[in-house]
DNA sequence: ACGAGCGCCTGTCGGC
DNA sequence: TGCCGACAGGCGCTCG
């Protein structure tokens, strides 16, 4: 489930849920802030979930540390500790929740971080693709990450610079985290629809104007996603409702809301792309 | 430099 | 009912 808006929603709720824009109690279920909490220990229930360091080193290094801040970089969740940084990547099915240690452990809980106040942070990940890192320097992990799409300093010209010499399809370029960090399969399809760009357009065919429009569309859909607390589909429910506002994603065969042409699906770069063949050129 | 294919995993859904 | 393939929000690898 998690692309930039879903990760951002989780980060905000971990930071200070009482100030969240979340409207109903449902969305706040099981969530509370973790900033300032002290880690007692960790329970790693699926070995490969921990990318680095070795489990014993992780356990020893994390004990007694305070969580100073919770932030987001691309699709990564970044927790600054007294010494070092704890990073989470949710990949396809990861989720983080905060609850009392008296709650029963759930089926797909992969890493449990217990706090001294008897609360805990739980990394639940059905498909086991998610990863956790404890590092001294985040640059080790972020070295290859592109700019933040919502950074006001980023311009359409910057994207034109990184895309315009490429023969790769724009859909693939949008998903390339080294060029732009945080956009995934849903938001790339939705942004391309809004910018009226066909997903298989080669990067080199895009003008500066098109890049401007696409960046604006990317920001539009990301901001709407954040405003709606992300999208919730399948069995992963978190209270967001952006899925009710998709214009093309997983709407193959349905009428385009602009022109009525059936939405088509095309596999690009091993990922499904949804688009209107009439509106997107 | 690029795309295709596959691995990593579990779960759901539709067709037969 | 059960089995089987397709597919799912991501990303890293190898191989042409």
Residues A29 and A65 in one domain: yes
What is the structure's pLDDT at A188? 98
Residue A55: which residues within 8 A CB-CB, separation 6 or more? A44, A47
Alpha carbons A256 and A90: distance in angstroms, whole number: 32
Residues A117 and A200 in one domain: no
The answer to the question of residue A233 being in a domain is: yes
Strand C contact at CB of residue A252, distance < 7 A? no
Q: Which residues of A are catalytic?
A: 2-3, 75, 271
Complete DSSP assignment for A43-107 = EESSGGGEEES-HHHHHHHHTT-BEEEEEEETTEEEEEESSSEEEEE-TTTEEEEEEETTSPPPT
How many helical (H) and strand (E) elements, i.e. helices and strands, does chain A have?
Answer: 8, 11
What is the structure's pLDDT at A106? 96
What is the structure's pLDDT at A133? 98
Domain boundary among A142, A168, A195: A142
Alpha carbons A212 and A273: distance in angstroms, whole number: 21
Domain range for A169: 156-275
The answer to the question of residue A151 being in a domain is: no
Residues A108 and A172 in one domain: no
Strand C contact at CB of residue A179, distance < 7 A? no
What is the structure's pLDDT at A236? 61
Residues A80 and A23 in one domain: yes
Residues A135 and A198 in one domain: no
Residues A179 and A263 in one domain: yes
The A 174-233 residues near strand B by Cβ under 7 Å are none
Q: Å between A91 CA and C4 C1'?
A: 27
Residues A215 and A129 in one domain: no
Residues A135 and A163 in one domain: no
Domain boundary among A111, A142, A173: A142
- Record the pTM: 0.94
Q: Which nucleotides of B are covered by protein (CB under 7 A)?
A: 1-12
What is the structure's pLDDT at A110? 98
**Could you tell me the CATH number of the domain that includes residue A70?**
3.20.190.10
The answer to the question of residue A280 being in a domain is: no
Alpha carbons A204 and A165: distance in angstroms, whole number: 5
Query: Which secondary-structure segment (H or E) carries A198?
Result: none
Tally of domains within chain A: 2
Could you list the pLDDT tens digit for every one of the 281 residues in chain A?
699 999 999 999 999 765 444 444 444 444 579 999 999 999 999 999 999 999 999 999 999 999 999 999 999 999 999 999 999 999 999 999 999 999 999 999 999 999 999 999 999 999 999 999 999 999 989 999 999 999 999 999 999 999 999 999 999 999 999 999 999 999 999 999 999 999 999 999 999 999 999 999 999 999 999 999 999 887 565 779 999 999 999 999 999 999 999 999 999 999 999 999 999 99
Q: Å between A64 CA and B6 C1'?
A: 41
Is residue A164 exposed (0-12), middle (13-18) or buried (19+ Cβ within 10 Å)?
middle
The answer to the question of residue A147 being in a domain is: no
Domain boundary among A117, A142, A167: A142
What is the structure's pLDDT at A271? 97
**Could you tell me the CATH number of the domain that includes residue A267?**
1.10.8.50
Q: Å between A270 CA and B4 C1'?
A: 8
Q: Å between A94 CA and B11 C1'?
A: 14
The answer to the question of residue A135 being in a domain is: yes
């Amino acid at each position: 489930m998690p692309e930039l808006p879903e990760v951002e929603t989780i980060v905000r709720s971990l930071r200070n849920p009482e100030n969240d824009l979340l409207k109903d109690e449902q969305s706040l279920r099981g969530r509370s802030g973790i900033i300032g909490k002290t880690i007692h220990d960790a329970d790693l229930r699926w070995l490969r979930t921990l990318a680095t360091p070795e489990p014993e080193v992780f356990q020893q290094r994390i004990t007694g540390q305070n969580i100073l801040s919770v932030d987001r970089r691309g699709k990564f969740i970044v927790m600054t500790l007294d010494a070092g940084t704890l990073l989470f990547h949710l990949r396809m099915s990861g989720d983080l929740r905060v609850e009392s240690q008296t709650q029963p452990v759930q089926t797909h809980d992969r890493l449990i971080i217990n706090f001294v106040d008897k609360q805990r942070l739980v990394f639940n990940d059905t498909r086991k693709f998610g990863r956790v890192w404890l590092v001294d320097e985040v640059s080790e992990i972020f070295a290859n990450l592109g700019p933040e799409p919502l950074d006001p300093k980023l311009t359409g010209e910057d994207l034109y610079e990184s895309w315009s010499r490429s023969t790769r399809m724009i859909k693939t370029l949008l998903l390339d985290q080294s060029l732009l960090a945080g956009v995934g399969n849903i938001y790339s399809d939705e942004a391309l629809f809004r910018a009226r760009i066909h997903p298989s357009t080669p990067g080199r065919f895009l003008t500066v104007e098109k890049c401007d429009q696409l960046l604006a569309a990317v920001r539009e859909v990301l901001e709407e996603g954040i405003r709606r607390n992300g999208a919730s589909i399948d069995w992963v429910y978190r209270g967001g409702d952006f899925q009710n506002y998709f214009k093309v994603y997983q709407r193959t065969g349905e009428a385009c809301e602009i022109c009525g042409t059936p939405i088509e699906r095309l596999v690009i770069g091993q990922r499904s792309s949804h688009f209107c063949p009439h509106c997107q050129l």
